Structure 1
Amino acid sequence: MPLPFLTADRAFDTADDVALPYDDRDRWRRPYRPGPWRVGAASLLLLLASFVLFAAVIIAATATPASAGAVFAVALAVVACALRLLRMGVWVSSRGLRHVAFVATRTTSWEQVVSVRTVQQPVRWLGLPRTVQGQALVLARRGRSAESSAPLLTSHNADFLGRDQLAFDRAADTVEAWAAEYRRD
């Protein structure tokens, strides 16, 4: 079963001279692949869900259907969390920029975007309270300051920690290229 949210389009890897190599620009796309930390955490959650589902089958055979249903619901919640974890990140289309977090999704149309730029600043390491010096992709929207919003991407989040700096630079450059093409001044 193909999982389109798990992989970025391969066109970016082959087209070095084209900033926006996508054919269908109306479709929401993540311009980078999920990182090893994100995929690893999701796979561990799916492994946990398989054990919980196995426990639900055993409980269904030996106990009441209500208790088996409750355990089955817990397994479905763990699977939903793993899938949401894989969908997190920055998505772009010709309509705007979408920042998908674990709980909320914020979509900004290109008309509202003032700038998208890479800055050097202290960033959270894997989203934890510990900060390290790194790079962040910051979105400035009309009517709001850049400091009030969380960074879109950082060089130390679950997508880019453990990868070379080129992966973050390529992803940031691609998002900046989308903003430069579609943003209206």
Structure 2
Amino acid sequence: MPLTFLSAEHDAQADATESPLPHGQQDHWRRPYRPGPWRVAGAAVALLLAAYVLISAVIIAVAGTPRGALATAVIALLGIVFALRLLRVGIWVSSRGVRRVGMFTTRTLRWREVTAVRTVQQPVKWLGLPRSVQGQAVEVERRRGGPLRTLLTDHNADFLTRPDAFERAADVLEAWADEYR
């Protein structure tokens, strides 16, 4: 049985037939791209460590004090929450606006507050670290207030090894902005 959905030719056909706004329900918040391998790997490692900590909490509960087991279980739950939040970090769009979800904060900007969404060449941070490299970034200009922090870069955890995915995500963000601005 051929698995056409795994072939590169199917991806090219799907990209050619998709409209810039392929979703029927425009009011739901959605990410216009898939989480990248670096983000998924980081979350997987955090979940793996949380699993080990949960196992140690069970061992401590059986052999030690309940207070130590509870503290260890809380640490494991914090690891699970961290991994889930890491997977949610990114840009989300709907007909209401664009939302930048960070690890600790979420910033929503209504489309009527946006004057332009564009891709620019500039120094960007590599995987969010202090090291900067030359790359592309998607920026949002607001009607009032200071500039919004860079939305996407081609060197972040979602797009480091996927330049085509960055281009598609930037195009989709610009299409959403043109549609609802």
TM-score by length of 2: 0.90
Query: C-alpha displacement at 1:16, in angstroms?
Result: 3.0
Structure-1 separation of matches of 2:86 and 2:125: 17
Q: 2:108: which partner in 1?
A: 107
Structure-2 separation of matches of 1:143 and 1:150: 14
Query: C-alpha displacement at 1:19, in angstroms?
Result: 1.1
Structure-2 separation of matches of 1:115 and 1:89: 19
Query: C-alpha displacement at 1:145, in angstroms?
Result: 3.9
Q: How large is the Cα RMSD of the aligned pairs?
A: 1.3
Structure-1 separation of matches of 2:143 and 2:70: 48
Residue correspondence of structure 1 range 51-130 to structure 2 within 5 A: 51-130=52-131
Q: 2:6: which partner in 1?
A: none
Q: Structure 1 residues 14 and 162 mapped into 2: Cα distance closer, same or farther (>3 Å)?
A: closer
Q: Which amino acid aligns with 1:127?
A: G
Count, aligned residues:
169
Runs of 4+ in 1 over 2 A off after TM superposition: 13-17
Structure of higher CA gyration radius: 2
Query: C-alpha displacement at 1:143, in angstroms?
Result: 1.2
Look up the SS of the partner of 1:172 in the other structure. Answer: helix
Q: Which has the higher helix share?
A: 2
Q: Give identity over the alignment, percent.
A: 58
Q: 1:7: which partner in 2?
A: none
Q: 2:170: which partner in 1?
A: 172
Q: 2:142: which partner in 1?
A: 141
Structure-2 separation of matches of 1:159 and 1:77: 23
TM-score by length of 1: 0.88
Indicate whether 1:160 and 2:127 are aligned: no
Look up the SS of the partner of 1:70 in the other structure. Answer: helix
Q: Which amino acid aligns with 1:159?
A: D
Query: C-alpha displacement at 1:15, in angstroms?
Result: 6.2
Q: 2:150: which partner in 1?
A: 151
8 Å Cα contact 1:15/1:21 also seen in 2: no
Residues 7-46 of structure 1: CA distance to partner in whole angstroms, max 9, x if unpaired? xxx9xx5563511010110000001000000000000000
Structure 1: 5+ residue runs without aligned partners? 1-9
Q: Which amino acid aligns with 1:155?
A: D
Query: C-alpha displacement at 1:150, in angstroms?
Result: 1.6
8 Å Cα contact 1:115/1:141 also seen in 2: yes
